[in-house]
């Protein structure tokens, strides 16, 4: 692998990294937990000298997909699939707050005289009574930076769709605790679990082209940029950034459709779960 290609992969790895592992299959281990650790961030891309453009890259939303090849003797325990339903607890809180203000004059002097030992009263004196009634609803629960919704893909694979938490624009951090919250249990279907090669599954992170956030695009070399436009018909900085991303993903053997199509499907990362 060339040094420049290695640098590109490192830059892109800052956008999304993924690890997947499970317990060891064996004679006494028909079911094992599958753990998936995925982390999202923002990467400053285009640091190598030959790159005509640099930019910041993040992911707005993505899917984590568990793929079980048809040739693998393994199945998924449906009851074990993590449905990721966030818990929220609400409580009603009452606050009393009213204000009424008025002047006591005339006949009110007699009432004050009856209540006051001294019987003194000033016509300019004001009496203020404060009372209120107001309701507030409070929510209690964990603060989520990434929301996770379990579903299935059109191919029937188990999938978790990830979206940013409240007031956030891109994915940042982890959607779950990979150690404490396995995604599901794998079932070894081999007749003799003590022999042969253990089954394996693949985990991918996917998104659409429109789910990529490409910002702060800068041209590094005006002369190179002019040549690129003349050669491939690019008309803006975004096209250069898209070409960079396409080359980086393709070099890793990942799926890349037409980057100019907002609904093009991209595979951002792919790993084989290890025991």
For 174-210, write each residue's pLDDT tens digit. Answer: 999 999 999 999 999 998 887 888 899 999 999 999 9
166: buried, middle or exposed (CB in 10 Å: 19+, 13-18, 0-12)? exposed
* Residues 110-137: tens digit of each pLDDT: 444 444 444 444 444 444 444 555 566 5
User: How far out from the chain centre does Cα 189 lie?
Assistant: 34
How long is the chain?
275
Cβ atoms within 10 Å of 107's Cβ, excluding its own: 7
Query: Is a pLDDT exceeding 90 seen at residue 235?
Result: no
Q: For residue 61, give both structure tokens.
A: 């939303």
Q: What is the per-residue pLDDT for 238?
A: 83
Q: Is the pTM of this model over 0.85?
A: no
Q: How many Å from the N-terminal Cα to the C-terminal Cα in the chain? A: 27
Give the model's pLDDT for residue 245: 87
Specify the range with the lowest mean pLDDT, choosing from 166-170, 183-187, 208-212, 256-260.
Answer: 256-260
- The mean of the pLDDT values for the chain is 79
Helix (H) or strand (E) holding 244: helix 237-251
What confidence tier does 91 reach under pLDDT thresholds 50, 70, 90? low
**Residue 80: helix, strand or coil by DSSP?**
helix
Residue with tokens 């209690």: 140
Pairing of strands 202-208, 89-95: unpaired
Instruction: Give the phi and the psi of residue 66 in degrees, each rounded to 5.
Output: -95, 120
Q: Are strands 212-219 and 53-59 parallel, antiparallel or unpaired?
A: antiparallel
Per-residue pLDDT at 80: 97
Strand bridging mode 16-22 / 212-219: unpaired
269 pLDDT band (50/70/90 cuts)? very high
Looking up tokens 């409070």, which residue turns up? 138
CA distances from 140 to 92, 143, 175, 260, 269 (A): 11, 9, 19, 43, 35
**pLDDT number for residue 103:** 47
- Tokens representing residue 145 in the block: 């930076």
């Amino acid at each position: 692998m060339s040094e420049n290609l290695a640098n590109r992969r490192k830059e892109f790895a800052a956008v999304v990294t993924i690890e997947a592992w499970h317990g060891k299959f064996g004679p006494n281990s028909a079911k094992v937990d599958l753990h998936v650790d995925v982390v999202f961030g923002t990467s400053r891309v285009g640091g190598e000298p030959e790159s005509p453009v640099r930019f910041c890259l993040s992911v707005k939303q993505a899917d984590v997909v568990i793929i079980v090849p048809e040739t693998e003797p393994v199945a998924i325990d449906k009851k074990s699939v993590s449905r990721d339903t966030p818990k929220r607890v609400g409580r009603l809180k009452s606050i009393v707050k009213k204000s009424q203000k008025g002047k006591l004059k005339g006949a009110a002097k007699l009432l004050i005289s009856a209540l006051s030992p001294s019987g003194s009263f000033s016509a300019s004196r004001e009496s203020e009574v404060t009372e209120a009634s107001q309701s507030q609803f409070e929510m209690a629960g964990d603060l989520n930076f990434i929301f996770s919704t379990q579903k299935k893909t059109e191919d029937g694979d188990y999938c978790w769709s990830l979206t940013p938490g409240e007031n956030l624009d891109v994915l940042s951090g982890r959607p779950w605790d990979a150690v404490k919250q396995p995604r599901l249990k794998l079932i070894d279907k081999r007749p003799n679990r003590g022999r042969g090669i253990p089954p394996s599954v693949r985990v991918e992170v996917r998104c659409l082209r429109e789910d990529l956030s490409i910002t702060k695009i800068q041209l590094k070399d005006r002369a190179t940029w002019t040549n690129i436009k003349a050669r491939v018909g690019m008309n803006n900085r975004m096209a250069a950034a898209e070409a960079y991303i396409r080359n980086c993903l393709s070099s890793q053997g990942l799926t890349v459709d037409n980057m100019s199509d907002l609904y093009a499907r991209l595979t951002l990362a792919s790993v084989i779960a290890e025991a």
